[in-house]
């Protein structure tokens, strides 16, 4: 099968926008209470003696590195198994979907028309160690002004939180201060009722440029609500300010990890050229 001329022309009329956070050891790529992201050189072109990081040539004249990475590092997707236990465990919230891991998420669930919901900076209830709440009423009002969400839409919360994804000590504002020391503001996050409202519209994929779909002070509830219904959560997006409210096509391509509770990947969107 080959692309016809009209399809090829339509592709050239679109701009691809990268919505993925960069992974680097100096960036706050990992959840603040999980193992940090690390990237180390396993083999180098030749031996280089260095007190801090010696390079070794043991397997040939090439360079390769190994990664230490949590499944929920950087821009990533949550699978149901992340919060929903398997039925056989007998634990609270156990359900059949507890056996659904990331390699079982259908790719067509992760691609579709993007609907970008702007979240104001002055959303109420923000406090140190507390996330301001995106409520059902807020979503309903947004729909009255912008049109209802529909089946197949991919809802993306544009909070601007990715601007805090910075190297070094400045990056503590991204997750650490809200989650660990609790002396910094939390990222905006929907509550369970807001998520159920979105799900009632037939939406099965929701993303955010916040650290997590759950709040920094009580993240479990919204994960139970969405993941129990097999909604895919795309967390820690970036550059949503480059998307229109409607008109872009969103795609997330996760790593295919056996038995994964989630997986990092590449998020991007096709945007019509103005």
**pLDDT value at 34 more than 70:** yes
- The answer, yes or no, to whether residue 9 has pLDDT greater than 60, is no
Beta bridge pairs of residue 267: 252
Q: How far apart are CA 57 and CA 271, in angstroms?
A: 44
Q: Which of 102-116, 122-136, 156-170, 243-257 shows the lowest per-residue confidence on average (mean pLDDT)?
A: 122-136
Place of tokens 């919901």: 117
Q: What band does 1 get if pLDDT is binned at 50, 70 and 90?
A: very low
Residue 192, pLDDT above cutoff 90: yes
User: What would the mean pLDDT of 96-117 be, rounded to a whole number?
Assistant: 98
pLDDT of residue 126: 85
Q: Which residues contact 104 (CB under 8 A, 6 or more apart)?
A: 79
Choice between 62 and 12, residue whose per-residue pLDDT is larger: 62
Is residue 5 pLDDT above 80, yes or no?
no
Please tell me whether the overall predicted TM-score, pTM, comes out greater than 0.85 for this model.
yes
**What is the percent of the chain with per-residue pLDDT over 70, rounded to a whole number?**
96
H-helix or E-strand spanning residue 135: none
CA dist 2 → 6, 7, 10, 186, 234 (Å): 12, 10, 14, 48, 32
- What is the predicted pLDDT for the residue at 125? 84
User: Would you place residue 7 in the very low, low, confident or very high pLDDT band (cuts 50, 70, 90)?
Assistant: low
pLDDT at 251 over 50: yes
Q: What is the CA radius of gyration of the chain?
A: 20
CB atoms within 10 A of CB 162: 23
- Average pLDDT for the chain: 95
């Amino acid at each position: 099968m080959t692309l016809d001329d009209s399809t090829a022309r339509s592709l050239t009329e679109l701009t691809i926008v990268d919505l993925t956070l960069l992974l680097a050891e100096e960036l706050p790529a990992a959840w603040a209470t999980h193992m940090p992201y690390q990237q180390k050189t396993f083999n180098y072109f030749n031996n280089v003696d260095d007190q801090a990081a010696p390079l070794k040539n043991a397997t040939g004249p090439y360079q390769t590195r190994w990664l230490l990475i949590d499944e929920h590092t950087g821009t990533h997707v949550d699978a149901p198994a992340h919060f929903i236990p398997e039925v056989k465990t007998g634990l609270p919230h156990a359900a059949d979907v507890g056996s659904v891991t990331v390699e079982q998420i259908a790719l067509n669930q992760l691609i579709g028309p993007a609907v970008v919901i702007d979240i104001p900076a002055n959303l109420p209830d923000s406090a140190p160690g507390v996330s301001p709440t995106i409520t059902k009423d807020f979503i309903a009002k947004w729909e009255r002004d912008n049109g209802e969400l529909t089946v197949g839409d991919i809802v993306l919360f544009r909070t601007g939180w990715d601007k805090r994804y910075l190297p070094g000590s400045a990056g503590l504002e991204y997750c650490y201060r809200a989650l660990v020391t609790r002396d910094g503001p939390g990222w905006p996050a929907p509550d369970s009722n807001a998520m159920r409202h979105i799900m009632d519209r037939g939406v099965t994929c929701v993303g955010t440029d916040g650290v997590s779909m759950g709040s920094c002070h009580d993240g479990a509830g919204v994960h139970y609500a969405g993941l129990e219904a097999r909604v895919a959560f795309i967390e820690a997006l970036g550059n949503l300010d480059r998307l229109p409210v409607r008109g872009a096509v969103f795609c997330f391509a996760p790593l295919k990890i056996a038995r994964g509770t989630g997986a990092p990947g590449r998020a991007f969107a096709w945007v019509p050229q103005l």
